[in-house]
């Protein structure tokens, strides 16, 4: 039956995409409440042929709300998530605030949907986009070959930094094309025509928080406590899709044909892999689309029982908004 849905952070890149996904997937929305900072209150947002007025987010914004989708940063989720849950809403949080908390399921619907049922705090966490996109390729292989370790390098779109990241890339490209000066604001260095080996902050072991998410979240989502992961996360001048180069080592012997066959019938992921004919996944193919694409599947030349592969997915969509709406759909 129709649900009263709230979107917190409705005017951000992910919040906008959440609204689009609800519309496009004909989610049974009886009422949509869109919540944002006072700055955005009063804005009109189109939804299902009508205009919804943005309301200022307060602790009392959740009366009667069935599902509250959060994507406004960890601070807002920490402060207002519990109030939404206390008001009886199921909170689906896109931030990293609760992902590793006991009693908060971390869910990719194609991989561990049942986990969403056990939510003692009324909160379900949406994994990090790079984790989701990587696991959409690795989960089917894990089923067949038994995943042991992941060595990965990510090529992350600027949309991961929100609308401001997209604007920064656009402005720098224009400035460079017209010989205008510019000052990097979102990133420590120029991102246009460059790559930056830092996503999120560095921790004391030399890895960034983003790189450790793949390890910690991967273990929780797969229920695989001794999965090993070593990751390098890089920001690249791409607008909306993340790409990940993966070396995955397995318990059992692997071969490419069996690997490709593992994806047959798996929702949300497609094999696009015919390098001889220049057929492989690229960000321009996944942007705005639901499916993650996997290609360049080949046996690793160094490690036993290991495959190299390349997976690409829309960071804003499957990496965040679509995954959250799919969790709402399984509720």
Only segment of 35-43, 62-70, 123-131, 142-150 that touches ligand 2RA (CB under 6 A)? 123-131
Only segment of 55-63, 122-130, 145-153, 223-231 that touches ligand 2RA (CB under 6 A)? 122-130
Residue 277: is it exposed, middle or buried by C-beta count within 10 angstroms (0-12/13-18/19+)?
A: exposed
Q: How near is the Cβ of 304 to ligand 2RA at its closest, in Å?
A: 31
Which CB, 13 or 22, lies closer to ligand 2RA?
Answer: 13
- Active-site residue 231, yes or no? no
User: Quick check: 81 binds ligand 2RA (CB under 6 A)?
Assistant: no
> Given candidates 40, 71, 128, 286, which one binds ligand 2RA under the rule CB under 6 A?
128
Q: Is 181 annotated as a binding residue?
A: yes
Q: How near is the Cβ of 77 to ligand 2RA at its closest, in Å?
A: 13
Structure tokens at 167: 């604007």
User: Quick check: 323 binds ligand 2RA (CB under 6 A)?
Assistant: no
User: Quick check: 129 binds ligand 2RA (CB under 6 A)?
Assistant: yes
Site for ligand 2RA in 168-207 (CB under 6 A): 199
Which CB, 92 or 271, lies closer to ligand 2RA?
Answer: 92
Query: Quick one: which of 158, 125, 140 has its CA closest to 13?
Result: 158
Write the binding mask 230 to 249 for ligand 2RA: x where contact by CB under 6 A, - elsewhere.
--------------------
Residue 82: is it exposed, middle or buried by C-beta count within 10 angstroms (0-12/13-18/19+)?
A: middle
Catalytic residue among 21, 129, 233, 292: 129
User: Quick check: 156 binds ligand 2RA (CB under 6 A)?
Assistant: yes
Per the CB < 8 A criterion, the answer to whether 56 and 76 are in contact is: no
Site for ligand 2RA in 33-52 (CB under 6 A): none
Which CB, 130 or 287, lies closer to ligand 2RA?
Answer: 130
- Active-site residue 233, yes or no? no
Q: In what order do the strands lie in the sheet containing 241-250?
A: 228-235, 147-156, 241-250, 306-314, 292-299, 269-271
Q: How near is the Cβ of 28 to ligand 2RA at its closest, in Å?
A: 28
User: Quick check: 6 binds ligand 2RA (CB under 6 A)?
Assistant: no
Catalytic residue among 21, 142, 233, 242: 242
Total residues at the site for ligand 2RA (CB under 6 A)?
8
Cα–Cα distance between 328 and 178 in angstroms, integer?
Answer: 46
Per the CB < 8 A criterion, the answer to whether 159 and 166 are in contact is: yes
Per the CB < 8 A criterion, the answer to whether 275 and 281 are in contact is: no
Q: Is 74 annotated as a binding residue?
A: no
Which CB, 242 or 270, lies closer to ligand 2RA?
Answer: 242
User: Quick check: 126 binds ligand 2RA (CB under 6 A)?
Assistant: no
- According to DSSP, the residues that pair with 3 across neighbouring strands are 29
Cα–Cα distance between 88 and 68 in angstroms, integer?
Answer: 10
> Given candidates 161, 216, 247, 286, which one binds ligand 2RA under the rule CB under 6 A?
161
Structure tokens at 242: 């993340």
> Given candidates 81, 127, 140, 160, which one binds ligand 2RA under the rule CB under 6 A?
160
Q: Is 232 annotated as a binding residue?
A: no
Residues forming contacts to ligand 2RA in the complex (CB under 6 A) are 128-130, 156, 160-161, 199, 210
Catalytic residue annotation: 129, 242
């Amino acid at each position: 039956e129709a649900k009263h849905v709230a979107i917190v952070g409705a005017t951000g890149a992910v919040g906008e995409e959440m609204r689009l996904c609800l519309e496009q997937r004909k989610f049974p929305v009886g009422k949509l409440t869109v919540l944002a900072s006072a700055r955005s209150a009063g804005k009109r947002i189109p939804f299902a042929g009508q205009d919804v007025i943005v309301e200022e987010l307060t602790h009392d914004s959740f009366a009667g709300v069935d599902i509250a989708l959060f994507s406004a940063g960890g601070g807002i989720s920490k402060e207002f998530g519990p109030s939404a849950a206390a008001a009886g809403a199921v909170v689906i949080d896109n931030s990293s605030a609760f992902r590793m908390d006991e009693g908060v399921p971390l869910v990719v619907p194609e991989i561990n949907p049942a986990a969403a049922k056990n939510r003692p705090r009324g909160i379900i966490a949406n994994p990090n986009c790079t984790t989701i996109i990587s696991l959409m390729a690795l989960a089917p292989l894990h089923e067949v070959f038994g995943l042991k370790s992941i060595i990965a390098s990510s090529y992350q779109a600027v949309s991961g930094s929100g609308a401001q990241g997209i604007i920064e890339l656009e402005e720098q490209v224009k400035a460079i094309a017209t010989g205008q000066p510019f000052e990097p604001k979102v990133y420590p260095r120029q991102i246009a025509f460059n790559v930056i080996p830092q996503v999120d902050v560095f921790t004391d072991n030399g890895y960034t928080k983003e790189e450790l998410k793949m390890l910690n979240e991967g273990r929780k989502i797969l229920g695989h406590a001794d999965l090993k992961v070593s990751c390098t996360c890089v920001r690249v001048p791409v607008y909306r899709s993340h790409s990940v180069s993966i070396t995955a080592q397995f318990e059992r012997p692997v071969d490419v044909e069996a690997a490709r066959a593992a994806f047959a019938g798996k929702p949300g992921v497609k094999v696009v892999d015919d390098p001889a004919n220049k057929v492989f996944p690229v960000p321009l193919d996944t942007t705005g689309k639901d499916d993650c694409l996997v290609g360049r599947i080949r046996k690793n030349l160094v490690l036993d029982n290991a495959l190299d592969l390349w997976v690409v997915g829309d960071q804003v969509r499957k990496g965040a908004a679509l995954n959250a709406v799919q969790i709402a759909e399984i509720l």
